[in-house]
Chains A and B, each alone.
Chain A
Amino acid sequence: MRMLPRFLPGLLCLCLLLGLPLAAQAQEEAGQALLESLDTDAYAEKGEAIEAIIESGDPRSRRWLEALLGGKLQRHKDTGQFVVVVENRGRSWPVVDALSFEDAGEMSRRELDRIGINNALRGQLQGALAVLDLHAEAVDERREAARALLGDVDASLAEPLRAVIDGEADDEVRRLLEQALAIHRLEQGDTAAVDALAGSLNSRVRAALNTASRSDDPQLAQAATAALADIEQKMRLNSGLETLYFGLSLGSVLVLAAIGLAITFGVMGVINMAHGELIMLGAYTTWAMQQLLPGQPGLALLLAIPGGFLVSALAGVAIERGVIQFLKGRPLETLLATFGVSLILQQLVRTVISPQNRTVVTPDWLSGSVMLNEGLSLTLNRLYVLGFALVVFAGLMLVMRRTRLGLEVRAVTQNRAMARSMGIRATRVDILTFALGSGVAGLAGVALSQLTNVGPNLGQNYIIDSFMVVVFGGVGNLWGTLVAGLSLGVINQILEPWAGAVLAKIIVLVFIILFIQKRPRGLFPQKGRAAEG
């Protein structure tokens, strides 16, 4: 027995060489027989022949049935060859062989005989095709087929469906098929069917229940109305969850944009109006990476994460060394100078790259959506950005709380002179902190490139929002920035349906302006000595 594995490949080859032609020939003959049985004048016999085709499990059966349904399955009068018409226009039609599906040239329509069907057969075929899809290999296809059946089940389909349900392995497909059957039973006036439909968010189910709630049978109508109310409740919950998700998603964008600012403005006290342009640089790094690695948008995006951090951090260092260090202790002058830097960076991008928006490709694993239930699906790219924001936040917290740099930063901001006399190189700390904050802005840019247009104005759109988030959360408090960003995002999304996007934004801005009057130091004010800085 030990020797067997060695021979196996050889054996397999042999089998393939000898067996394949034989198998193909057998398939050919079986197919021919199935098609022959269709070519009869009695419709009852045709119905049986259709059943036989379905049961044969032949891979071509779907195409045969579709062709039959469309009246395109035809037979040559002289040779008896079965063909499928590709296009029936003009006098001679291009056809393919019905067995091999190879091109069979053109045939005159006079030479061809159509295999006709009647209405009863048409219904049987439609049902059969639907059931056929339920036998597909891929679970997704089976689910899709089952979903399509909702509301379309009639008496002729009900019987085969029960058999399919028993043979189905996937729970989701089974559930959908049960519902499809239940709708059918509901239409027959079966009150018990309501239970099987309760809680479903599918619009067809709701339509069926709606019809049932108006039925003459008071018991059925009552049950259906109750079930509908239940579904309404669930849908409200769903739309609430959806708003929350979009709000959190918007909030995560705000957090990402603001978190770098929370370091440079919040912790260091430097007003960097060029922060938005550092975000923009991160986004352009993503674009540049994708230009460098054509055809691999996913890899380019992953590489852009460290790349964007580095580019923006270096730009940040240049701004700190070139401008900000000369303006220590003059925050308003810093504001003006960095605003100048932001104008220069914007124009630089316009001149060097292009004033137009650049397209950043979204890799496959970022597009699409996750379906939680039939009423609620979450877009993947927003989900990733939300996760990314949380990871970046956690990383920053770790740096500020657990590393030597974080300790030194806090020491320098609380009392510069004291920190210096303890041997901390304050200038070096300044540079590193500013680089960190700027680098995080770059990360935000990488993430934003997946959600918005990458253009020279990208940064401008986020600078005011970012400052608002930091001020609202409380300067110098990273947690405050997180809470402020997420809650502002959610508030914005809650307001949007009834106020419109622009008005919602205005309301949020006015809210923050009023909030700062009430609590000038934000949601989570710093206490003690740090607050005096």
Chain B
Amino acid sequence: MWLTQPFTERSTQLFIGVLLAALALVTVLHLAVPEGHPLHVTAYTVNLFGKYLSYALLAVAVDLVWGYLGILSLGHGAFFALGGYAMGMYLMRQIGDRGVYGHPVLPDFMVFLNWESLPWYWAGFDMAWFAFLMVLLAPGALALVFGFLAFRSRVTGVYLSIITQALTFALMLAFFRNEMGFGGNNGLTDFRDILGFSLRSDATRLGLFLATGVALALGYVVCRAIVGSKLGRVCVATRDAESRTRFLGYRVERFQLFVFVVSAMLAGLAGALYVPQVGIINPSEFSPIFSIEIVLWVALGGRATLYGAVIGAILVNYAKTVFTGVMPDAWLFALGAMFVLVTVFLPKGVAGLLAYRVKRPRHSSDDTSTPQEASA
């Protein structure tokens, strides 16, 4: 089966092995090591790692379209946020009558706005299966419509980047409006429990962390399977020479659309796992700067490697946590400098450095891992 095929690759085995080992290690250090011991991992840290892992999944989704399809999406934050909102709506409905106003059906912000009943698009979100389906379908549908229009008229390169940015910007403005019914400026927050488990208990946090880890592993395998298949080869061909691929008889736009939609769904899944762990979703996730930051994670980790995206996401976000804690003013300087330095001096990212170290003694070259810059 095509999904099992990636497991024959050494890099996938290595990645999955390291990831599972890390998950196990964190779990053991959190549960088995007594509190106060220097090796103990606190619930806060578990939660933080869970957040990083959901970012990593998002980065993998971006790497799939940027690294292997040559589409620099500056709007993947929109898919992430849509998945997050779908999850947030489910969590809002789970609050029930425990809100500040104690309304049995309506979330607090709707009571506050004097709304009489739930808008139609909130229907069904009290059921977990429906909400989890929407986590994938909502971003997928947006990507389908947007991608269909864009790829059909062969909007590529910088143009596509700019209109994806416009897309997420427009969505951000829309979600800021109270009339939209998504909580406006404040977004959705004050969640209580998920599937019956309290979001405030340490056990649920550990569970979410592990679930995110597993989702990341699955997402990675799916992407690896796509990339390694014939379809993936067409994608790489499209990335490097779109016209030539078209002349060879491939309907380029269909491949682009398929991969774009898969990537959007993965991003939505990442958003859905992110929201219960941070406890809030608001329109700032739609902001163009967030979307462009995701691209930096991928660039820093190493484009078109998938595992590089994971490394980049974790490294940058860890740096962000450290910097904003120690000297908040310096963070934007550091982030800006990273953008400049990585693109100028480290075009293949950290993964490129690693590959260089590993591969130098042996004589081999992996042609799919080096995108042609000119085509981008």
Whether B329 contacts A350 by the Cβ 8 Å rule is yes
Q: By the criterion CB–CB under 8 Å, are A337 and B344 in contact?
A: yes
Hey, which chain B residues are within 8 Å of A351, CB to CB? 329
Interface residues of A in 286-340 (CB under 8 A from B): 323, 326-327, 329-337, 339-340
Q: Which of A343, A464, A520 contacts B288 (CB 8 A)?
A: A464
Alpha-carbon gap, A336 to B316, bound state (A): 15
**Distance (Å) between the CB of B141 and the closest chain A CB?**
16
How far apart sit A342 and B167, CA to CA, in the bound complex (Å)? 21
Instruction: Given A335-B72, A335-B158, A520-B155, verify A468-B339 contact (CB < 8 Å).
Output: no
| Chain A residue at minimal CB-CB distance from B154 | A520
Residue of B150, B152, B374 touching A329 (CB-CB under 8 A): B374
Q: Mark B328-362, 1 if CB is under 8 A from A, else 0.
A: 01001101111110111001000000000000000
Q: Which residue of B lies closest to A509 (CB)?
A: B170
Q: Are the CB atoms of B158 and A503 closer together than 8 Å?
A: no
A337 to B338, alpha carbons, bound, how many Å?
9
Decide: A509 and B169 in contact? CB cutoff 8 A: yes
Residues of B within 8 A of A336 (CB): 292, 295-296, 299, 339, 342-343
How far apart are the CA atoms of A351 and B335 in the complex, in Å?
15
The A-contacting residues of B in range 156-200, CB under 8 angstroms, are: 157-159, 161-163, 165-167, 169-170, 173-174, 176-177
Cβ of B151 to closest chain A Cβ, rounded Å:
10
Minimum CB–CB distance for A407 against chain B, Å: 26
Report the stretch among A45-53, A103-111, A421-429, A511-519 that lies at the interface.
A511-519
Partner among B159, B292, B342 whose Cβ is within 8 Å of the Cβ of A516: B159
Q: Is B149 an interface residue (CB 8 A)?
A: yes
**CB within 8 Å for A340 and B335 given contacts A513-B163, A517-B149:** yes
On chain A, the residues within 8 Å of B343 by CB distance are 327, 333-334, 336-337, 340
Contact A332 B72, CB 8 Å, known A340-B340, A464-B288: yes
A457 to chain B, nearest CB (A): 11
User: Which among B72, B162, B344 is the interface contact of A327 at CB below 8 angstroms?
Assistant: B344
Contact indicator B162/A323 (Cβ below 8 Å):
no
Nearest CB of B to A27, in Å: 68
A344 contacts B332, C-beta separation under 8 Å: yes
B344–A323 touching, CB < 8 Å: yes
Shortest Cβ gap from B338 to chain A (Å): 7
CA distance A503 to B171 in the complex (A): 11
B66 to chain A, nearest CB (A): 8
Option from A350, A506, A520 in Cβ contact (under 8 Å) with B174: A506
> Does A467 interact with chain B (Cβ within 8 Å)?
yes
Contact A332 B376 (CB under 8 A): yes
Interface SS majority for chain B = helix
Q: List residues of chain B with CB within 8 A of the CB of A471.
A: 159, 162-163
Kindly state whether residue A502 has any CB partner on chain B within 8 Å: yes
A184 contacts chain B at the CB level, 8 A cutoff: no
Known: A509-B169, A514-B149. A332 touches B155 (CB 8 A): no
Q: B336 to nearest A CB, angstroms?
A: 3
Q: Check: B153 CB closer than 8 A to any chain A CB.
A: yes
Residues of chain B from 260 to 287 with CB closer than 8 A to chain A in the complex: none
**A 493-533 binary contact with B (CB < 8 Å = 1; else 0):** 00000000011011001101110111010000000000000
Do B335 and A517 touch (CB < 8 A)? no
Number of A interface residues at 8 Å Cβ cutoff, please give it: 42
CA distance A501 to B308 in the complex (A): 42
Q: Nearest chain B CB to A522's CB is how many angstroms away?
A: 9
Whether B158 lies near A342 (C-beta < 8 A) is: no
Please determine whether B376 and A343 come into contact, CB atoms closer than 8 angstroms: no
B177 adjacent to A512 (CB under 8 Å): no
Evaluate contact between A506 and B173: CB separation under 8 angstroms: yes
Cα separation A341 to B338 with both chains bound (whole Å): 10
A37 within 8 A of B: no
Q: Which of A468-502 contact B (CB under 8 A)?
A: 468, 471, 502
Measured CB to CB, the nearest residue on chain A to B149 is A517
| Residue B366 is within 8 A (CB to CB) of chain A in the complex | no
A346 to B338, CA, bound (A): 15
A124 interface hit (Cβ, 8 Å) = no
Is residue A84 contacting chain B, with contact meaning CB distance below 8 A?
A: no
B109 CB to nearest chain A CB (Å): 18
Given contacts A337-B339, A468-B166, contact A347 B173 (CB under 8 A): no
A467 touches B333 (CB 8 A): no
B166 touches A340 (CB 8 A): no
- Indicate if the CB atoms of B344 and A326 lie closer than 8 Å: yes
Chain A residues positioned under 8 Å from B166 (CB to CB): 464, 467-468, 509, 512-513
Q: Does B367 contact A (CB under 8 A)?
A: no
Interface centre among B173, B295, B344, B347 (most CB of A within 10 A): B344
B373 at the interface (CB under 8 A from A): yes
A332 to B288, CA, bound (A): 16
**How distant is the Cα of A53 from the Cα of B165 in the complex, in angstroms?**
74
Q: Which residues of B contact A35 (CB under 8 A)?
A: none
List residues of chain A with CB within 8 A of the CB of B153.
516-518, 520
B279-318 contacts to A (CB < 8 Å): 288-289, 292, 295-296, 299
- Let me know if B173 and A333 touch, CB within 8 A: no
Contact of B152 among A331, A342, A347, A517 (CB under 8 A): A517
A509 to B163: give the CA distance in the assembly, Å: 9
Which residue of chain A has its CB nearest to the CB of B150?
A517
> Would A513 and B332 count as touching, CB distance under 8 A?
no
Question: Which chain B residues numbered 45 to 87 have a C-beta less than 8 Å away from chain A?
Answer: 72
Contact present for A331 and B332 (CB under 8 Å) = no
Bound-complex Cα distance A397 to B144 (A): 41
CB neighbors of B among A358-403 (8 A) = none
Cα of A337 to Cα of B174 in the assembled complex, Å: 29
Residue B173 contacts which of A350, A460, A502 (CB distance < 8 angstroms)?
A502
Q: In the complex, how many angstroms separate the beta carbon of A452 from the nearest chain B beta carbon? A: 17
Residues of A within 8 A of B161 (CB): 332, 335
Q: Which residues of A contact B288 (CB under 8 A)?
A: 464
Q: Quick check: B336 and A330 within 8 Å, CB to CB?
A: no
A273 CB to closest chain B CB (Å) equals: 8
Nearest-neighbour CB distance to chain A for B349, whole angstroms, equals: 12
Known contacts A471-B162, A506-B170; A330/B299 CB under 8 A: no
**A340:B157 contact, CB within 8 angstroms:** no
Query: Is A502 touching B177 in the complex (CB atoms < 8 A)?
Result: yes
For A335, A344, A351, A505, the residue with the greatest tally of chain B CB atoms inside 10 Å of its CB is: A335
Q: Does A271 count as interface, using CB distance less than 8 angstroms? A: yes
In the complex formed, the residue of A with least CB distance to B330 is: A347
Q: Do A343 and B163 contact each other (CB < 8 Å), given the known contacts A332-B158, A502-B177?
A: no
Q: A517 near B373 (CB under 8 angstroms)?
A: no
Interface centre among B158, B299, B329 (most CB of A within 10 A): B158
Task: Tell me if A343 and B162 are in contact (CB < 8 A).
Answer: no
**Which residues of A have CB within 8 Å of B159?**
471, 516, 520
Q: Which residue of A lies closest to B71 (CB)?
A: A332
How far is A333 from B158 in the complex, measured between Cα atoms in Å? Answer: 10
- Known A-B contacts A331-B158, A471-B159; the reply to A340 vs B338 at CB < 8 A is yes
Would you call A347 and B150 a contact (CB within 8 A)? no
Q: In whole angstroms, how far apart are the Cα atoms of A191 and B263 in the complex?
A: 76
Of the candidates A327, A347, A517, the one whose C-beta lies within 8 Å of that of B333 is A347
Flag if B329 contacts A464 (CB, 8 Å): no
Residues B336 and A347 in contact, CB atoms below 8 Å apart: yes
Q: In whole Å, how far is A461's beta carbon from the nearest beta carbon of chain B?
A: 11
Closest-by-CB residue of B relative to A269 is B158
Across-interface contacts of B146 in A (CB, < 8 A): 513
Known: A467-B162, A505-B173, A516-B163. A333 touches B335 (CB 8 A): no
**Chain A: minimal CB distance from B170 (Å):** 4
Whole-angstrom distance between the alpha carbons of A505 and B177 in the complex?
Answer: 12
Q: Can you add 7 more A-B contacts, CB < 8 Å, to A350-B329, A502-B174?
A: A332-B72, A336-B343, A342-B336, A343-B333, A344-B336, A468-B166, A520-B153
Interface pairs (6), CB distance under 8 Å: A335-B158, A341-B340, A517-B150, A517-B155, A518-B153, A520-B154
5 cross-chain pairs, A with B, having the tightest CB-CB distances, nearest first: A340-B339, A343-B336, A344-B336, A347-B332, A509-B170
